[in-house]
Amino acid sequence: MRHNCESFNVVNPSEMNLLELLLIAVGLSMDAFSVSVCKGLTTRKFSLRMALTCGLWFGFFQALMPVVGYFLGEQFEGFVDAYAHWIAFGLLILIGANMIREAVWGEKEEGESSNSLDFKTMSLLAVATSLDALAVGVSFACIQVNIWLAVIIIGVTTFIFSVLGVKIGNVFGSKYEKSAGIFGGIILILIGLKILLEHLGIISF
């Protein structure tokens, strides 16, 4: 499967080795890792259930999106280029702002705080942090790459980083509970801003 790849900076097929797939996976997992840290910041006690849930949500979507991009290819390229980063930006701004509101003014009830694992919260976060993987999937359609090996590496890597992120966030959040909620919201907003500025070409990582 090959498509017009002018919109994406992809490597030559002969250079797409296992190490490069791993580096791509680590790069894609960083947003999910940061969001997982935010989840950990809002928990008083480390929860293995939360860590595994975050890992499964983020790992699954990071693996799913490249497959979607790969098989839709050119048909999806216009959408990815025009809208994906704006959607991620909007979702993370909204979730981050709500997290700050809860930390400053909210009367948190059990199961309704910003550390919630409900379907709506987790699906929005998973989509917002995996849209870059959608673009990578479109680029994979332009080169000779084992898509199934690639998505397994991306999914497993994201799962591991997400679980670690929850633990790391909890270590700091348990000490600074209220300020941790504010800090976590700011992190989400900054991630959204980073995604948008990268898309606009203002910054590059």
Lookup result for tokens 């992809």: 10
pLDDT of residue 174: 61
Residue 184 in this model has a pLDDT that exceeds 60: yes
Please, is 65 exposed, middle or buried when counting C-beta atoms within 10 Å of its C-beta (0-12, 13-18, 19+)? buried
99-122 pLDDT per residue, tens: 787 767 765 444 444 456 788 889
Mean pLDDT for all residues in the chain: 79
Confidence of residue 15 (pLDDT cuts 50, 70, 90): very low
Lookup result for tokens 């976590």: 184
Q: Tell me the two tokens of residue 57.
A: 């949500």
163-182 pLDDT per residue, tens: 999 999 888 766 665 666 67
Residue 29 in this model has a pLDDT that exceeds 50: yes
Regarding predicted confidence, which is higher, 99 or 15? 99
With a CB cutoff of 8 Å and minimum separation 6, the contacts of 147 are 66, 67, 70, 137, 140
pLDDT of residue 11: 42
Which of 126, 95, 57 shows the shortest CA–CA distance to 188? 95
Query: What number of other Cβ atoms are within 10 A of residue 73's Cβ?
Result: 19
Average pLDDT over residues 136-152: 85
36-48 pLDDT per residue, tens: 988 888 777 888 9
Helix (H) or strand (E) holding 65: helix 48-72
Rounded distance between C-alpha atoms, residue 5 and residue 188, angstroms: 31
